[in-house]
Structure 1
C-alpha cells in the first residue's frame, strides 16, 4: 500500500516537492489572478467615481450582487472541478479526472447563458431588489445592460481559472486574468473621459476584457499537462456533474450568501440612511466601496488558499497526512499575516484609501471613514475562517466546508444587519461586520478542532480514505 502511494507521489510534484516551494509556485500566481479579478469591479468604481460621480459609483454597487452571482456559478463549477481533478489524480485515475473537466466546462457555459437571459429580462426588478434609489436607478440600468452581455464569458473565466491552476499551470491562469484586467484599465479612461460614454463605457471596457480572457483560457484545452480532454468528455453525465457540484457547493453558497448580504445591506443602508443626516445615497455608495476594498484584500487570502487547494487535495487523496497538515499550517499563517497588515491600513489610513475613489462632500467622507473602520474592525480573523473552509473543501468534505462558509455571510451577518440598525440607526449596519467576523471565527476554530482527529486518524490507510472521500462527495 505505502509503496503504491510513493510511486503515485513521484508521478506528480504535488506529492514530493517542498511545501513552501509549492505554495510559492501555486499561491503567488493565484493571488495575482484573484486580485486582478477583484480589480475588475474596483477599476470601474475608481474611474466612474472620478468621471461620473458618486451616483455612478452607487450604480456599480447595485449591480455588484449580480456580478457576485456570476462568480458564485463560476466557483461552483471551477472549485468543484479543481477538487475533483486533484483527488482523482492523487489516486492515479486520469480518465475520470478528464471527464470531470469536460463536464465542468460544458456546465459553466450553460449556466452563464441561462443567467444572462434571466438577468436581461428582469434587470430593473433586480436593481430595485438590490437597493437602487430613484437617483441611482438610471445609472444602474445603463451599466447593467452591458455587464449582462459578459456574464457567460465571466462564468467561463472563473471556472477555468481554478481548473487550470489545479492542472499545475497557475501562471497561465494568472496571465489570463492579467490580460483582461489590463484591457479594462486601458479602455475605462478612454471610454469615460475620452469618448464620454459614462457608466456604459466602463461596463463595455469590462466585458471586452472578459471576452479576451475567456478566449485565452479556452486555448488551454489543448495544453492540459496531467490529462487528455476528449470531445466525448464534454457530454454531461449526471453522476460527474453531481460530484463536481458537491465539491464546489461551499464556494457557491459563500458567494450566494454574499449576494443576499449585499442586497440586504444596500436596502438597510437606504432605509436608515434616509433617516439620518447622510441621506440614502451616501451610505449605499460608501458601503459598496468598503466591501470592494475588503474584497480586494480577501482576494489575496483567497489566492493563498486556492493556491494551496491542489496541494491539500492531492496529498490527502494520496494519504500523505504530514504534507497535508504542513500545507494547512502555512496557509493559515500566511493568510493571518496578510489580514493583520490590512487591519493596520484600514484603521490607520482610511482617508488615503478612500481618496482613490474620488473626493466628495464632508458628509460623504465622514461616513466613508466610519464605514471602513467599523465594518472591517475584526477583519484580521477572516483569513483563518476562509482557510478552514477551503481546507474542508479540498479534502472532500463539502458539509463542513459549507458550514464554515455560510456562518459569516448568512448565519451571523444578515441577522446582525437587520437587528442592530433598529437600536443604532444606520451605524448598526456597520457594526454587523465585526460581530459576524468574531462569531464566524469562533465557529470555524471549534469545527476544525472537533474534526481534527477524525480527519487524520486514517493515516495508515490512504487508499481507503481517498476512495471514501470520492464516494461521499
Structure 2
C-alpha cells in the first residue's frame, strides 16, 4: 500500500498545482479588471466567464474522455485502439472549437445580452466574449493534450504546462492593461494566449518522442463520440454547470441587488473557482491511476485510490473554509478597488455562506470523476448533473425567493450536502461491484 500512496500523492500533488495554475487564468483577469475598470468591469467579466466555463468544460470532457479510453485500452493491451482515441479527441475538439469561433465572430453582442448585460456594461462584455471565443481552439486543444500527456505517465510536464500558461497570463494581463491600456480586450487577449504558452511547453513531450500514443487517422464514428463524451461527461458537467449557475445566479442577483450584486458574486465565484480547481486536480490526478487499475481488474487498488482521493478532498475542503473565514475581509478588499461598501458587505456574506459547500463538494466531484474512470458514465452523469445543474438551480430559485441574497448564497452548500447524502444512500447498495467504492 505504501507504493500505492506514493504514486497517488505524486499524481495528486502535481495535478492540484497544475489546476491551481489553470484557475488563475480567470482569477488574474478578475484582479486586474476590478482594479483597472471598477465595479462595471467586474460585473461585465462575471457575465462573460460563463462562456469561458463552457469552452473549458468542452475541452475537459473530450480530453479526459479520450485519455481515459487511452489508459483503459492500453492497460488491456489494445495499443491501436489506445492511439485511435487521440485522433478521435482531436477531431471532436476541433469541431467544437469551430462552433465556438463562429459564435464569437457573429454573435458576441447577442450572447452578451442573453447573459444579462445591460447597456452600461454591454460593450465590455461583448469584447471579452468575442476574444475568448476566437481563442477556443487553443483552449480545447490544450485540455486534450494536457490529459493525454498526464495519462501517458508525465504528470509533471502537464503541471508545468498549466503553471507556465497561468504565469504568462498574469504577466500579459499587466502589460496589456496597464502600459498598453487595452482594457477589457487586453484581459481577454492575455487569457487567450495562456493556452498557447502551455501548448508550447507540452510540445517537448512529442519532440523528445516520449509519447506512447500516435496519430492514427481514421473515420470517427458516432459510437466513438458517444463513448468519449460519456467517459468525460462528469468533467464537462462540473465546468458547464458553473456556467449555468453563473448565468442563473447573475439574472437572479440583478433583480435583487443590481450590478453591484453581480460584482459581489464575481468575487465569490472566482475565489470558489480556485477552490474547485483543487478538487478537480484531486479528481483528475486519481483518474489515470483508477482507470489503469480498473483496466487490469485490480478491485482493491481501484477502491483504495478512490478512498485516498475522497479523504484528500474532504481535508482540503475543510482547510479552505477555515482560510476563508479567517481572511474574509482581506479577500474582498483585493477585488474592491473603489471601496464600495455595499459590494464589501454582499461579498463578505457570500463568501461565508457559499464556502460552507466545500465540506461536501470535493467528495462529490471526486466521486463523479471516479465513476467516469471506471466506465460508469450514467452514474457519473447523475451525480455531476444534480450537484452542478438541477439541484442548485432549484435551490437557488426557491431559497432566493424566500430569503433573498442569503438564500442564493446558501443554495450551493445545500445542494452539495443533498448530493453527498444521495451518494452515501445509493452508493452502499452494491458493495461488491468494482465500480462501487463503498
C-alpha change, 1:226 and 1:211, in structure 2 (3 Å) is closer
1:239 shift after superposition: 3.5
Pick from 150, 161, 172: which aligns with 2:135?
A: 150
Counterpart mapping for 1:209-288 below 5 A? 209-218=194-203, 220-221=205-206, 225=210, 227-232=212-217, 235-273=219-257, 280-288=258-266
SS at match of 2:217: helix
Residue 289 (structure 1) aligns with: 267
Q: In the superposition, relative to structure 1, how do residues 55 and 225 fare at CA in structure 2: closer, same or farther (>3 Å)?
A: same
Query: Which consecutive unaligned segments of at least 5 residues does structure 1 have?
Result: 1-15, 274-279, 458-473
SS at match of 2:431: helix
Give 1:225 deviation, angstroms. Answer: 4.5
Max Rg structure: 1
Structure-2-length-normalised TM-score:
0.94
Residue 44 of structure 2 is matched in structure 1 by: 59
| Helix, strand or coil at the partner of 1:40 | helix
Count matched residues. Answer: 436
The correspondence of residues 111-122 of structure 1 with structure 2, limited to 5 A, is: 111-122=96-107
| Among candidates 171, 180, 203, match of residue 165 of structure 2 | 180
| CA drift at 1:118 | 1.9
2:349 is matched with 370
Q: CA distance change for structure 1 residues 427 and 228 in 2, over 3 Å: closer, same or farther?
A: closer
1:392-411 per-residue CA deviation (whole Å, 9 max, x = no partner) reads: 01111000111111111222
Report the equivalent of 1:313: 291
Alpha-carbon shift at residue 427 of structure 1 (Å): 2.7
Specify the SS of the correspondent of 1:155: helix
1:326 corresponds to 2:311: no
Task: Report the counterpart of residue 71 of structure 1 in structure 2.
Answer: 56
| Aligned residue number for residue 276 of structure 1 | none
The whole-number CA distance in structure 2 between the counterparts of 1:150 and 1:221 is 23
State whether residues 72 and 253 of structure 1, in contact with CA within 8 Å, keep that contact through their aligned partners in structure 2: yes
Partner of 1:110: 95
Question: In the TM superposition, what whole-angstrom CA distance separates every residue of 1:89-138 from its partner, at most 9, and x where no partner exists?
Answer: 22111111001112112221221122121233221221122222332222
After TM superposition, the structure 1 = structure 2 runs for residues 313-462 of structure 1, keeping only pairs within 5 Å, are: 313-359=291-337, 360-455=339-434
Q: CA deviation at 1:243?
A: 1.7
Separation (CA, whole Å) in 1 of partners of 2:22 and 2:302:
28
Q: Which moved more, 1:308-317 or 1:207-216?
A: 207-216
Preserved contact between residue 103 and residue 133 of structure 2 (Cα < 8 Å): no
Point out the more displaced range, 328-337 or 124-133.
124-133
Where in structure 2 are there 5+ consecutive unaligned residues? none
Given that 2:336 and 2:344 are in contact with CA atoms closer than 8 Å, whether structure 1 keeps it comes out as no
Offset at 1:210?
2.2
Contact 1:388/1:448 (<8 A) preserved: no
Counting only pairs closer than 5 Å after superposition, residues 162-181 of structure 1 correspond to structure 2 as: 162-181=147-166
Measure, in 2, the Cα distance between the counterparts of 1:17 and 1:95.
Answer: 33
Shift of 1:228: 3.7
CA drift of 1:327 comes to: 0.9
CA root-mean-square deviation: 2.0
Q: Output the CA distance in 1 between the equivalents of 2:67 and 2:316.
A: 24
1:198 shift after superposition? 1.3
Are the structure 2 counterparts of residues 215 and 451 from structure 1 closer, same or farther at C-alpha, using a change threshold of 3 Å? farther
* Alpha carbons 1:97, 1:227 under 8 Å: kept: no
- The match for 2:146 is 161
Q: 2:105 & 2:431 partners in 1: Cα distance?
A: 46
- Closer, same or farther in 2 for the Cα pair 1:92/1:428, shift >3 Å? same
SS of structure 1 residue aligned to 2:181: coil
The whole-number CA distance in structure 1 between the counterparts of 2:273 and 2:431 is 29
Shift of 1:21: 1.3
